[in-house]
Amino acid sequence: MKNLLYLSVILVALVAPGCGSPFEAPTTGGVTGKVQLYNEYGDSIRDPRGVVISFAYEPSGSTAPIDVVTWTVDSTGFFEIKNMKEGSGYIKATKPGFGEYSRVFSVLAGVSFPFNAALDSLPSVRLSNHRAQTIAGTELRDTINFSTPVPVGKKRRVRYFLSIASTVSANNGAYAYSNSSESEAGSTFSTITIPKSVLNARGFTSGSTVHIVAYGISYGGHSYSNSLLANTALTPASDVIAVTVP
């Protein structure tokens, strides 16, 4: 009889109004992950504090406000955002002086989705001289001088962007061809050589003018671009120069 009394009390507690049910479906979700920082030579940066994770909900209508949730990573690079409402939008990791990583993301109730990112610091390399020339009428050679030599034990990477237009840049659609070169420790310059056949295949006809600009890029190889806008966060390391295609 005593056991039946205890069972009755438990059942009443489970069905009593206002007490809630342990079987209620979750109404919020979350995001968890880690951000790793790298310097321009590809070395891991120990303390990633200062990285901000932000999630912008995509508005359901043209006049709807954009609800943004932000979070700052801890000293280990980890973060966890809880109690987020369901919805889709754009999540990104940013820190001043570094590239940006962003992508489309959805928050679902009852689920904590992973979001991991790697950000490279914006290169400090600047070019003191930028010149291009044609070699034997068969190739184009572009050479730049560094304002400071490549540090001992490091390598430096430079990427060149070419376009017929003088507005050439690393942004999506602003160049027709790009290639990179690598300089060893102690080097004071970077050189790239492009065969005439490659230039012609990319629409640079012989006798036309091609415009070239150079950017320092990270040796870590992570993108500096906003993947949603396809625009670069980099600042050109050189002036735009013009040269005649051989």
pLDDT-derived band at 214 (thresholds 50, 70, 90) equals confident
The answer to whether 31 touches 82, Cβ cutoff 8 Å, is no
The structure tokens 């390598």 sit at 155
pLDDT at 34: 93
- CA dihedral angle for residue 235, residue 239, residue 240, residue 242, rounded to 10 degrees: -160
In the DSSP assignment, the letter for residue 147 is: S
Residue 158, CB-side half-sphere exposure with 13 Å CA sphere: 29
Residue that wins the pLDDT comparison between 6 and 19: 19
The CATH class given to the 127-244 domain equals mainly beta
pLDDT at 62: 47
**Cα separation of 69 and 164, whole Å?**
42
The structure tokens 């036309």 sit at 208
Please give the average per-residue pLDDT across 89-102, as a whole number.
Answer: 86
Using alpha carbons, select from 47, 222, 215, 48 the residue that is nearest to residue 120.
222
**Cα separation of 199 and 132, whole Å?**
14
* Domains 24-120 and 127-244 belong to one CATH topology: yes
Q: Kindly report, residue by residue over 46-89, the tens digit of the pLDDT.
A: 888 899 999 888 865 545 556 788 888 989 999 999 999 888 88
In the DSSP assignment, the letter for residue 225 is: S
Mean pLDDT of the chain: 82
In the chain, where the domains are located: 24-120, 127-244
pLDDT at 61: 56
What percent of the chain is modeled with pLDDT above 70? 82
pLDDT-derived band at 10 (thresholds 50, 70, 90) equals very low
130, two tokens:
């930028």
**Cα separation of 198 and 196, whole Å?**
5
Q: What contacts 109, CB < 8 A, 6 or more positions away?
A: 25, 26, 27, 28, 29, 86
pLDDT higher than 90, residue 97: no
Q: Which long-range contacts (CB under 8 A, 24 or more apart) does 166-173 make?
A: 166/211, 166/240, 166/242, 168/211, 168/212, 168/213, 168/240, 169/213, 169/232, 169/236, 170/213, 170/215, 170/225, 170/232, 170/234, 170/236, 171/230, 171/231, 171/232, 172/225, 172/229, 172/230, 172/231, 173/230
pLDDT-derived band at 11 (thresholds 50, 70, 90) equals very low
- Of 6-15, 52-61, 164-173, 177-186, the least confident: 6-15
pLDDT at 232: 64
The domain covering 24-120 belongs, at the CATH homologous superfamily level, to Immunoglobulins (2.60.40.10)
**Cα separation of 2 and 78, whole Å?**
52
The answer to whether 245 touches 197, Cβ cutoff 8 Å, is no
Q: Kindly report, residue by residue over 231-243, the tens digit of the pLDDT.
A: 566 777 788 889 9
